[in-house]
Amino acid sequence: MNDQPSAANAPWKQRYEHDLVSTFSTPPLLLDRGEGAWVWDAEGRKYLDFLGGIAVNSLGHAHPALVEAVTRQVSLAAHVSNLFASAPQLELAERLKRLTGAGEAGRVFFANSGTEANEAAFKLARLNRGTGSRTRIIALENAFHGRSMGALALTGKAYMREPFLPMVPGVEHIPATFEALEAAIDASVAAVFIEPLQGEAGVIELPAGFLSKARELTERNGALLILDEVQTGAGRTGDWFGFQHEGITPDAITLAKGMAGGVPIGALVTFGAASQLFHTGQHGTTFGGNPLATAAANAVLGEIERAGLVENARIRGEQLKQLIAGLGSPLVAGTRGRGLLIGIALAQPVSGELVAAARDQGLIINATGPDSIRLAPPLIIGDLELREFRDRFGAALAKVAATTADSEPTTRKVTA
């Protein structure tokens, strides 16, 4: 007789480590359900979710608008393949053209993730060859565009690329300075890829006017300006899309994350002449733009618009920055970002300890580096959630400060 416990009855962490590829560390929690800005683990403990599935859960958890839309659509047709159209697909394409300002000349390609959207954008860049001399693609140092081979080639983090060398050729990474931008862009450049905020790098802001200068230089040299709005889109930064803060018009943007509130989806939206580069058979996807995913995205974007959540992101983001500054912690060196995509600079490399202490206080946040914390709560947060964050984050900061030998920063400055 076999007295060994079955795999299904083993502790969940043991099952995770036994059955999943070890591309991620073993998670600290097994989450069971969510409601609004809150989640519960398998033991029934409640947490305030200020990570939002990494900027995905725009409406929080179990929002009625998303639940109703997905339930209705899955009862009709979840998938029909790209050989057929569906009403939710057409509606979402029209909605994205309106919200982005791509207008009548714009076009939309649907994918399943931000990485896939960036792969489509990479191929779009390759098609912008001109007479054949435009072979270079420019991206920024510290950028993150995904982990598939094309998107990884665009990603400006050498440690991520090195295990998979050689990369797809033709991509050059430059620092986010005006001097580097002007030196790099000439008639040999097919496209420039930029995140309006470098989310995975710690919510790093570009220099003021950087996107405008990139737009000027790309137009002058016939290059495409392609903006990765995977984290910054869908109202996250207090405008519908990050590029709208500078009042420019890109040639293409990529979207995913918050667009469908947790249902996998991605999109490439093209503007103007860039909409004519792709032709039949040059790209495709089986699942992309299926009725279920596009119905979910229509529901989420529609609710963001109906409930004024873009404005809420702007207002609550400013309140959140002020609240963090008001805590007066010696561990906080400043804040950065826009809307509800916020980076907290730490005076010491204690982000791991702070994330764990916050979790002990029933708060979920994210470390993007040893001295950086990322916040990306649902766009629905209000006064109650801000008060709860203040109390829980303040307690976590106090705990870490008390156990840190040298907690005084060299400088302490809070930036907008």
* DSSP SS3 for 312: helix
Which of 210, 257, 271, 393 does the annotation list as catalytic?
A: 257
213 classed as catalytic: no
Helix, strand, coil distribution of the chain in percent, nearest 5: 40, 20, 40
Is 239 labeled as ligand-binding?
A: no
Catalytic residue status for 413: no
The beta strand positions in 121-261, using DSSP E, are 136-140, 171-174, 189-194, 197-198, 204-205, 224-228, 252-255
Q: Is 257 a catalytic residue?
A: yes
23 is in an annotated binding site: no
Among the listed residues 50, 110, 193, 228, the single catalytic one is 228
4 is in an annotated binding site: no
Classify the C-alpha dihedral 363-364-368-373 as positive or negative. negative
Is 361 marked as binding a ligand?
no
User: Is 390 marked within a binding site?
Assistant: no
Q: Which amino acid is at 143?
A: A
**Six-digit token pair at 152?**
């990884």
> Does 147 count as an annotated binding residue?
yes
The reply, when asked if residue 276 is annotated as ligand binding, is no
Output the six-digit token pair for 380. 């629905």
Residue 411 in marked binding region = no
Q: Of the residues 50, 144, 193, 393, which is catalytic?
A: 144
In angstroms, the CA 135 to CA 172 distance is: 11
314 is in an annotated binding site: no
230 assigned to a ligand binding site: yes
Distance of CA 36 to the CA centre of its chain: 19
What backbone torsions phi and psi does residue 410 show, to the nearest 5 degrees?
Answer: -65, -45
Separation CA 250–CA 151 (nearest Å): 19
The H or E element spanning position 368 is strand 366-369
Residues in the chain, overall count: 416
Residues assigned a catalytic role:
144, 228, 257
Residues in the annotated binding site for pyridoxal 5'-phosphate: 114-115, 144, 228-231, 286
Q: Which residues are annotated as a binding site for N(2)-acetyl-L-ornithine?
A: 147, 285
Annotated binding site: 114-115, 144, 147, 228-231, 285-286
